[in-house]
Amino acid sequence: MTSAWEAAVEAQIRTAQERGEFENLPGMGKPIPGRGLPYDESWWIKSFLEREALPSDLLLPTPLQLRRKVEQAPDEVRDLPTEQSVRAFVADLNAQIVGWLRNPDGPRVVVRPVNADEIVDRWRAERERAAARIVAAPAEQPRAVTARRGWRWRLPWRRRG
């Protein structure tokens, strides 16, 4: 027994087929992606991350995310303009770590707060190396200036002579 609702839906599908709305759909005639592979329970999470171009780090438990942030801290602070901004970054990271240490969840992984002075020292050394590279680079030779007439001489209504 079909209900009136199912009959209405079937009627809409039939009229759409008659109008040709199911013709030339993207992927038509192509195999279904993932067919023949073993079933993966997290297929929708992986496809969402891929479609939205999100980092897969979001799937990691909190202590592993914090550990990854600690490892990437020198690279993250490299482009910061001031020592104060580097210290603020490290203070924020340490606040996250201390918050997790007070109320741990997930696997027991050793995560320690970051030493701000070490990060600042590495940041300074990187900036000094970059400055030395700039100084050591050969200066560009200035271009020879050629005498040219100004743009006023090319105006058609300007009288010459």
pLDDT in tens, 59-75: 789 999 999 999 999 99
What pLDDT shows up at residue 156? 58
pLDDT at 141 over 80: no
Specify if 47 maps to a domain.
no
- The answer to the question of residue 48 being in a domain is no
CB under 8 A, 24+ apart: contacts of 122-128? 122/74, 123/74, 123/77, 123/78, 123/80, 123/83, 123/86, 124/83, 126/74, 126/78
Which domain does 84 fall in, by range? 60-135
Q: How many domains does the chain have?
A: 1
Domain assignment of residue 99, yes or no: yes
Q: Is residue 117 part of a domain?
A: yes
Query: Domain for residue 95, yes or no?
Result: yes
Q: Is the pLDDT of residue 24 over 70?
A: yes
Residue 88 lies in a domain: yes
Give the global pTM.
0.57
Q: Is 77 exposed, middle or buried (0-12, 13-18, 19+ CB in 10 A)?
A: buried
Q: Is 127 inside any structural domain?
A: yes
Instruction: Tell me, yes or no, whether 111 lies in a domain.
Output: yes
